[in-house]
Structure 1
Amino acid sequence: MVTITFNEAVSGFTNADLSVANGTLSAVTSTNGGLIWTATFTPKAAISDSTNLITLNKAGVTDAAGNTGSGTTVSNNYAIDTVRPTATLIMADTALKAGETSRVTITFNEAVSGFTNADLSVANGTLSAVTSTNGGLTWTATFTPKAATSDSTNLMTLNRAGVSDAAGNIGSGSLVSSNYAIDTVQPALARSTTVGAMTLSQQLDSLKATQNKQLSDLARALGAMG
């Protein structure tokens, strides 16, 4: 809320008499005959500026006697920070095999709070809990790919609406990582063929044939001796 109080009731006062830095004002209105005027200030989006002023040109107003104001009046300073948090998301290894993991780094343009794994959507794998060691500017986690998976197109998505900066600005929209490939399918024997192996029945038949031959040979030998 912006309040402009004159030393006496005035007329002719409009927003055209005001110069507003980095924002807009709703139409000025008075409920007490022109002595006190109010308006609502809305800061400009995506602005970070610690030095801002509103300037009133008093030449645009007159009192009941017809006296015109003179000179300008400057407001107290006000700071604006309407820059929403943005980020980059980088996976160190974008081609993962069985037994491998990858470090994931999420770097914001300013320190944020409220960031958890719930703000991340992860394809074909899991992330350890995101942590920051520099006050919320940079966050890291370890990605572990899903077992027995072969997929060359995977993405990680950050929902920025889950984070806010020190000024209370909430992130907007989503951020998608670069593509990463996963191949954690272990080699396996697809078909086994045994050459020359005999079934139990074949083995018994072979044994019988061998025994019969041995008995036949023994009988011939005994006959020759008699």
Structure 2
Amino acid sequence: METLVERFRAAARAAGATAEDTDLEAAAAYLLTRWSEPQRQYHTADHLTAVLDVVDRFAGLAPHPERVRLAAWMHDAVYDPRALGDANERDSAEFAEGLLQTLGVAEDTAQEVARLVSLTAGHATGEDDPDGELLCDADLAVLAGDDDAYAEYTAKIRREYAHVPDDDFKAGRAQVLKALLELPSIYRLAPLREQWEAKARANLENELKRGA
């Protein structure tokens, strides 16, 4: 079974990276230190792995799965629970573009990966964007977990926001849940929607009823 470092190296190489393998591996190791920062409870290497696994499983639905894989690596590269708005996604996108170009990825490809990263701010994609749809669907796959998995996910999110008072957290979390439920579909790609949509909506609605 490939290690995460090997998976990054393969994705970067498939996207056109010209850097030496040692540089690609060093970049992956550096990214993993970011994914292991102490403020993270949910947005950890476990989440990264879960997103990559979904991308691999449904890679045939995307024209450029290597870009989606790189976007998965980068989409929470910058993560501060105290950040406002979409600052984390914006900073992660900027970071992705710069890092990939230093690894020899063509500018237009690096920019496209950065664009994909930015989509995870609101998980809203335009028409005819299967790469973006796969990334967003993979990022939200956790919402369709069974009861135990969903409870574990929400507990980790609460720990990440331990600095936020309960009432404020509940209000903010309710906004997030309502925004997701207001999407025409949580999952954009038909095979994922067929498998996960109903369970994800049930999980979100149940959390709202419990008072988020």
Q: TM-score, normalised by structure 1?
A: 0.22
* Larger helix fraction of residues: 2
Of structures 1 and 2, the one scoring higher in RCO (CA 8 A, sep 6+) is 2
Who wins on radius of gyration, i.e. which is larger?
1
* Larger strand fraction of residues: 1
Q: TM-score, normalised by structure 2?
A: 0.23
